[in-house]
Structure 1
Amino acid sequence: MARSSSGESSFIWETIKTVFWALIIAGVFRSLFFQPFWIPSGSMKDTLLVGDFLFVNKMSYGYSYASCPNIRIQRIGVDLDARDICFFLDGDNTRVLGSEPERGDVVVFRHPATGEDYIKRVIGLPGDKIQMIDSVLHINGEAVKMEEAGMFVETYEPQGPQGRPPRCFNAPVGLGGECLKERYTETLPNGVSHDVLNVGYSPSADDTGVFEVPEGEYFMMGDNRDNSTDSRFPRSRDGVGFVPYENIIGRADRVVFSSGGRSLLYFWQWRKDRFLEKIS
């Protein structure tokens, strides 16, 4: 039996309403509770690998303008910054229902200069003095504890959607060869331990001046110390500088899913051993 034109119109309208409310609910869920994040680069190896997929817990530190997403759809000319959407939460470097991150937390934050989402580890708290001396992290004048943890080994090949090969301690390495990095377990003053990687010596990253962290801001570093754009470099497109409290989006607690391929659809390159792995 043919459907009447009024019945077809009703069906189309109901479909539009269903999709609309689904998008609203998804947007509210993303803005208030958890934000998906796919690791695009190797700056947090070996804690996080290129292709790890996780959800950022936005409830960890409360809410600011950065809790809202950037919405950019180039094909139809949509370019909304988080500040355009959550302008009522912007200002005075404060948060609603806020709590402060702890040293060693892995957090996603809004880059102070570009507005892009970055993921790094909280190393310096407000009032801290941070310095790198001969590749060793110093906090408030004291070197952190470092223990050798063997070599980190991966295949030298293009990684992730960006298709960038890793940097290697044993460079040059041919395509498909073993790419090595020195690995150490670093223990922060509050007892948080995590692995850091070393590729080689870089004067600008491994021997720095003293960074005095201002009130209301944080010092962030990647665990892959020689392959991380972080707070060791001045705020610009090529550096992060200090990160304001309001720019923090949330804490990364657990890897949900991981793929070693150029896409999540490359099921033959899924890393099943990393599913639901706790981030520490």
Structure 2
Amino acid sequence: MAAEAKTGNAVWETIKTVVFALLFAGIFRTLFFQPFWIPSGSMKETLLIGDFLFVNKMAYGYSYASCPNLLMPGIGINIDAQNICGFLDGDNTRVWAGEPKQGDVAVFRHPTTGRDFIKRLIGMPGDRIQVRQGVLHINGTAVGLKPDGEFEETYAPQGPQGLRPRCENGPVGLGGICTKSRFIETLPNGVSYTILNIGNQSSDNTGVYTVPEGHYFFMGDNRDNSSDSRLPVSAGGVGFVPYENLIGRADRVMFSSAGRSMLYFWTWRSDRFFKRID
């Protein structure tokens, strides 16, 4: 009997430990930092497929979007942040609010699908945004743009989805060198970063977007391979992103995997450990 009691107590203690650990992890993820693994190439070369980072949730304060989505389709779990913290939704405000800055790389909740996106904040409330012949204009003035050589990568499947890059010098055979033109773009507030160009397409010439109050305009750094605010949600884009949909700011890559899984440590990129995100 004594042995059975000890076994029962050990099982109960294990269950409590697991429950407390999950609660602590949930609170930590909700309030402080959320892990994020880059699944696509829309932010190259700032962020590569396979980059793993933590999103700083304290930077912008908290809203319903700060609650994590729990998506595990393999075991039938699909709990949306709206289901957990939906009572905070609807007023486009935040608790302990922090104002994002133009040029921030931020994670936000898609206005309709609820999925997490990561892009660069280009337009602030009231700004007029337009792209003309591939050049970004803010409030009628072209931003600084300077050629900076080429970005090169191997034409091969990337990440768990096996995505193949688009190339400016295409078509390129499997294993060949895929290139894109690189430019340094500088926003009116002085923030500079690299953007990539693949070719001329419809998103290189847009109408004028006036960012509504309480909303923001986001674009990917890989300009010709990004679904962002240049397209409305009705056309498969992002549209204007409400303030309450911001989740946090991405400041630093922790590590990066060039393989199909971040667990394949032998494929980790040695030059991206703790790399600052500009």
Report the TM-score range of the alignment, normalised by the length of the smaller protein.
Answer: over 0.9
- Aligned identity (percent) is 67
CA contact (8 A) 1:113 1:237 kept: no
Aligned-residue CA RMSD (Å): 1.2
1:272 is aligned to 270
CA contact (8 A) 1:136 1:144 kept: yes
CA distance in 1, matches of 2:232, 2:96: 30
Unaligned runs of 5+ in 1: none
2:54 is aligned to 55
134 and 75 in structure 1: CA distance in 2 versus 1, 3 angstrom threshold: closer
The Cα shift of 1:74 comes to: 3.1
Residues 217-270 of structure 1, C-alpha deviations (whole Å, 9 max, x = no match): 000000000000000001147210000000000000000010111111222221
Write out aligned runs for 1:1-280 (5 A).
Answer: 4-203=3-202, 205-236=203-234, 238-280=236-278
The amino acid that maps onto 1:26 is A
The amino acid that maps onto 2:187 is L
CA distance in 1, matches of 2:177, 2:140: 37
The Cα shift of 1:88 comes to: 3.2
Unaligned runs of 5+ in 2: none
258 and 3 in structure 1: CA distance in 2 versus 1, 3 angstrom threshold: farther
SS in 1 for 2:42: coil
CA distance in 2, matches of 1:81, 1:41: 22
CA contact (8 A) 1:111 1:243 kept: yes
The amino acid that maps onto 1:33 is F
Count of aligned positions = 278
The amino acid that maps onto 1:226 is D
The Cα shift of 1:99 comes to: 1.4
7 and 63 in structure 1: CA distance in 2 versus 1, 3 angstrom threshold: same
CA distance in 1, matches of 2:263, 2:94: 37
CA distance in 2, matches of 1:62, 1:72: 23
Choose 81-90 or 56-65, whichever is displaced more: 81-90
CA contact (8 A) 1:113 1:236 kept: no
Residues 12-67 of structure 1, C-alpha deviations (whole Å, 9 max, x = no match): 00000000000000000000000000000000000000000000000000000000
CA distance in 2, matches of 1:237, 1:262: 30
The two structures have a TM-score, normalised by structure 2, of: 0.98
The Cα shift of 1:86 comes to: 1.2
The two structures have a TM-score, normalised by structure 1, of: 0.97
CA distance in 1, matches of 2:164, 2:73: 28
